[in-house]
Chains A and B, each alone.
Chain A
Amino acid sequence: MNGIPVFPLWLILILLALGWTAVIVQYGLIRRRLGSSRAIILSLLRLGVILLLLSFALNPSTTARKEHKMLSPIAILLDTSQSMGLATQSGKSSRLEDAKALLLDGEKSLLKSLTGRVEVKLYALGDSLRAFDGGELSLLKATRKQVDLSEALDRLRREYSLAILLSDGNLKWEKKNSAGIPLITIPVGDTGEYRDTLIKEVKTPPLAFRGREVRIDVTIKSYGYAGLTLPVLLKDGNRLLKAKNMTIKQTSDEITFPLSFIPEEVGQHHLSVSIPPQFGESLTSNNSVHFSLRVVRDKIRILMVSGNPSMSYRFMRMALKNDPSIDLLSFVILRTPSNVLNVPIQEQSLIPFPVETLFSKELKNFDLLLFDNFPYQFYFNPKVLEPVREFVRDGGSFSMIGGPNVFDSYAGTPVEDILPVRLTGRRDYHRDAPLEVKLTPVGANHPITRLSLDENENVRLWQEMPSLDGVNLLDPKSSGRVLLESGERASWPILTVGDYGKGRVLVLSTDDSWKWYMGMVAKGKGQWAYLRFIEKMVRWLTKDPSLDPVQIILPERAGTAGQETGVRITLRENDLSPNPKGVISLSVVNPDGLKIASDLKTTGPSGEYVGSFFPEKEGMHKIKVETPFGSVEESLAITRPGEDLDGAPQHERLRMISASTGGKFLSRGDDLLKEIEPYVGRDAYRFIEERSLQLWSRPYVLAILLLLLTTEWYLRRRWGMV
């Protein structure tokens, strides 16, 4: 009993004393009329009433304790990842619909039964872990991405003691120490009936080298096609590079094999590996994989033949040797047939000039043939130059450096055809007053002569270059593009470029270009301009993509429609200015020719950007980057979703996952409610409810009071007191 008295205690005691006194007085009065026994009865009844009323003033109360048992809420996860959208073998519905039916169907459905016993919350496990109401269940659709199940359970463990997952097992799962909640898995999809052939993996090297075999490791997986022989095709765009037949030996088989080919052209190649769709396949989007492969040169191989030892040779050799991407083989004619040797061969370091081997056999192994003031007529007849013309026509590069011994002698030879300048057959070498060089309008923006990204700075740079003493006075052909010309009196072309067949040709009609090196050093401006000029000259001639000031680096794997696709963009800092000036923009055009939204952000290093866009359609997307100093365009294949999807139900994986969490793997035939029951009650928690009851508010107290008063009244009436 406890409670706070309504009146102060002293008042209650006074009232008690008064009541007691009144009862004694009453007893005395009644005894005289009814006798002692009857007086005692009536007095006790009155005393009872007084005591009862006074007890109200003490505010008596009782505390009731009641123990309660609470069941923890349960999370039901419904896998909505891509494979859950696959049709079941009956073809009537998807795995996701199957899972929904499992939850909802029947008079006593699993969801209803669980909801009746315990608090249940539904979650969709797709793009993200998303809670949803029961009414939304029928609207759920499979998504393209999936979150990591282990991360999802990590999030849920604070609120739930148990999770139930309905899935086909194609989930991301990173095995962790089991500190989370137990997971009960209920499989959907039929492992036995599933039939599919897919390209599971394509492993490519990060870079391939032109002319060298590239090995691509392909892994094919199949379900339900034992004994089938499949043609596997490797294509570059629509061009077939390699085909190979593979035989599937077992019902569930995985085969890894190499596909090799030799890339012939540098640049970004859009390759694909594919297998044909088979009858009864559950999924055909995974029968092909698209990917990009960047093909570069291993080294630019240059064959240089110099007519005599010279400053031109030494500085050009130094520039070429300093470039680690160049493999230089040079021959310098140290003595001519008219020179007289005064020592036996054992005392000479001279080696034979292997004309036949070089021009008939080995030339195709080089990227660039460079004649430096080389008078061929003393060493071989003009027919030997025929392979040079073929070499250029087939894609090789040729460059001729001027000097007193050349050009006029090449008139009427196959080389004359490929040069971008006209040969007269007359002596064309001029060595008189030095000639200044200046950029032509074409040269101002040509990659070879654009040594600085800033146009004005570039013009200034060429104006500062030392004058040239020795120049071959030539006329450009109409097909030739003059990049540098003499700046005084008549304009003679100094640097002329052109194309012949698939190859590129360059004529530098001076043997004094080395003065651009030493002259700038003399001015205290360093040798970089000459070195860059030679580097750019070589790279332009050999069509090296690295020459481009702007480069788009595509992702290794093709993009997927509906998913964000990213590309890297680098601006090559080609001058001494710390940052490229101007604005860079990115545009993406879809296969229908429509421009789609794209975003461009800078990354940490200067000149590096990341572009992103959301392709909605499959097919080739054109990505164009424009800058004030040039633009570049690349194509990126966008494939339909599911290219890399292995949709086979992975029930064993579900079993493993549930076991690792301390949960259980249930099969469809199990009594699901019964199996779940032990887990539902296991983590119930208890609490004791305390309730305080004030006695005066109880009805039976009033009844006792009324009973006492009624009894007293009845007895008084019977005994003649009323």
Chain B
Amino acid sequence: MISRRGFLSFGFGLAVSLLLKGPRPLLCASLPHFFFAQLKYRGGEWDPNPQFVSAMIEELELRTSINGSKERRVTTLFDPDLFFYPLLYMAGRYEFDPFTPQEREILRRFLTHGGFLFAEDTVGAKGFGFDRAFRNEMKKILPDHELKGLPPDHSVYRSFYLIETIGGRQKVNPYLEGITLDNWTPVLYSQNDLSGAWSRDRYGKWVNECVPGGEPQRSSAFKAGINIIVYSFTSDYKKDLVHHPFIKRRQN
């Protein structure tokens, strides 16, 4: 039985969402190509921003030709469909339990054979909590590769928007970090809490304020999100020679 408060909340949320909803792309109306698959792990807090998907998918569909789904899939490393997820999302605030050797092996195989992981430390505390646990795990999973800041000419900064700085709910790093294997960066990592900036409640209100930059910083977070998703589908496409003169001209 639905309560009066619940009924009003639902009705108001529906109205706001209809009002805020942008024009639907006519083209890819059929079925989704993109969805967030969020990794649920043991210990810590695996889901710090449970409402981050909706606004990001709307923005994605509004700005790009990618067809997305607002349905978030929660997964583990033992999920048999893990290897079919276009983007594995992992977020957290606190230190989590170490992965088992089997989990590490699966993640290593996933990352070294074309899988893509976007991870976020939503607290942004360098060397503590989630940051420390995640870096430790990456060292164990890909010991020969370092998680480090991506250079300004990395494809993720130009896959859709030409980005010079990374926004977010907070501004810990103006850049993304990543682990690069040959020409492909299967691991992207941010401590700016991008998903915190994307989070919107069911009434259409932003869940978090972006500090210190306010709404431009949120806008920047959405651009970074779109670039990350486009990058996960196009890899280093923007490094092709055909793009060079255009990008160079616009950056000057």
Cα A335 to Cα B23 with chains together (Å): 14
Contact call A521/B113, Cβ cutoff below 8 A? yes
Cα A522 to Cα B110 with chains together (Å): 8
Cα A343 to Cα B162 with chains together (Å): 10
- Contact A339/B25 with A330-B237, A332-B234, A348-B162 known, Cβ cut-off 8 Å: yes
Contact call B23/A309, Cβ cutoff below 8 A? no
Contact call B114/A315, Cβ cutoff below 8 A? yes
Contact call A314/B65, Cβ cutoff below 8 A? no
Cα A313 to Cα B231 with chains together (Å): 11
* A182 within 8 A of partner (CB): no
Nearest CB of A to B241, in Å: 9
What A residues does B234 contact at CB under 8 A? Answer: 309, 313-314, 317, 332, 334
Query: Which residue of the partner chain, among B65, B114, B223, contacts A333 with CB atoms under 8 Å?
Result: B65
* B51 within 8 A of partner (CB): no
Contact call B250/A339, Cβ cutoff below 8 A? no
Segment with Cβ contacts to A, from B81-89, B118-126, B137-145, B206-214: B81-89
- Contact A309/B65 with A351-B246, A518-B113 known, Cβ cut-off 8 Å: yes
* B135 within 8 A of partner (CB): no
Interface residues of A in 350-392 (CB under 8 A from B): 350-351, 375, 378
What B residues does A331 contact at CB under 8 A? Answer: 242
Interface residues of A in 57-72 (CB under 8 A from B): none
Nearest CB of A to B15, in Å: 22
What B residues does A518 contact at CB under 8 A? Answer: 83-84, 113-115
Chain B residue at minimal CB-CB distance from A331: B242
Interface residues of A in 333-349 (CB under 8 A from B): 333-336, 338-343, 345-349
Contact call B83/A336, Cβ cutoff below 8 A? no
Contact call A527/B114, Cβ cutoff below 8 A? yes
Q: Interface size bucket, A side? A: 35 or more
Query: Which residue of the partner chain, among B28, B66, B237, contacts A405 with CB atoms under 8 Å?
Result: B28
Nearest CB of B to A315, in Å: 7
* A318 within 8 A of partner (CB): yes
Q: Mark A512-533, 1 if CB is under 8 A from B, else 0.
A: 0001011101101001000000
Cα A177 to Cα B61 with chains together (Å): 85
- Contact A338/B237 with A517-B114, A521-B113 known, Cβ cut-off 8 Å: no
Cα A317 to Cα B236 with chains together (Å): 10
What A residues does B67 contact at CB under 8 A? Answer: 308, 404
Interface residues of A in 413-462 (CB under 8 A from B): 427, 429, 431
Contact call A519/B84, Cβ cutoff below 8 A? yes
What A residues does B158 contact at CB under 8 A? Answer: 349
* B20 within 8 A of partner (CB): no
Cα A527 to Cα B33 with chains together (Å): 22
* A140 within 8 A of partner (CB): no
Contact call B247/A378, Cβ cutoff below 8 A? no
- Contact A350/B115 with A313-B233, A470-B31 known, Cβ cut-off 8 Å: no
- Contact A310/B233 with A347-B162, A404-B31, A518-B114 known, Cβ cut-off 8 Å: yes
Contact call A335/B65, Cβ cutoff below 8 A? yes
Query: Which residue of the partner chain, among A340, A341, A521, A527, contacts B23 with CB atoms under 8 Å?
Result: A340
Query: Which residue of the partner chain, among B26, B113, B233, contacts A314 with CB atoms under 8 Å?
Result: B233
What A residues does B30 contact at CB under 8 A? Answer: 404, 427, 429, 431
What A residues does B237 contact at CB under 8 A? Answer: 317, 330, 332
Nearest CB of A to B5, in Å: 35
* B27 within 8 A of partner (CB): yes
Chain B residue at minimal CB-CB distance from A378: B27
Chain A residue at minimal CB-CB distance from B32: A431
Contact call A339/B240, Cβ cutoff below 8 A? no
* B80 within 8 A of partner (CB): yes
Contact call A522/B83, Cβ cutoff below 8 A? yes
* B221 within 8 A of partner (CB): no
Cα A427 to Cα B25 with chains together (Å): 17
Nearest CB of A to B237, in Å: 6
Contact call B64/A349, Cβ cutoff below 8 A? no
What A residues does B62 contact at CB under 8 A? Answer: 339-340
- Contact A339/B64 with A345-B250, A522-B83 known, Cβ cut-off 8 Å: yes
Cα A317 to Cα B184 with chains together (Å): 12
Could you jot down 27 A-B contacts, CB within 8 Å?
Answer: A308-B28, A308-B66, A308-B67, A310-B66, A311-B33, A313-B234, A314-B233, A314-B234, A317-B234, A332-B234, A334-B64, A335-B63, A335-B65, A339-B25, A340-B63, A346-B250, A348-B160, A349-B247, A350-B160, A375-B27, A404-B28, A404-B67, A405-B28, A429-B30, A470-B31, A517-B113, A518-B114
Q: Sorted from nearest, which 5 A-B pairs have the closest CB atoms? A: A309-B233, A522-B83, A308-B65, A404-B30, A521-B113
- 20 additional A-B pairs beyond A334-B160, A339-B63, A518-B114, beta carbons within 8 Å, are A307-B65, A308-B65, A309-B65, A309-B233, A317-B235, A317-B237, A318-B114, A332-B237, A333-B65, A334-B64, A334-B234, A336-B28, A339-B62, A349-B246, A349-B250, A404-B31, A405-B27, A405-B28, A517-B114, A521-B109
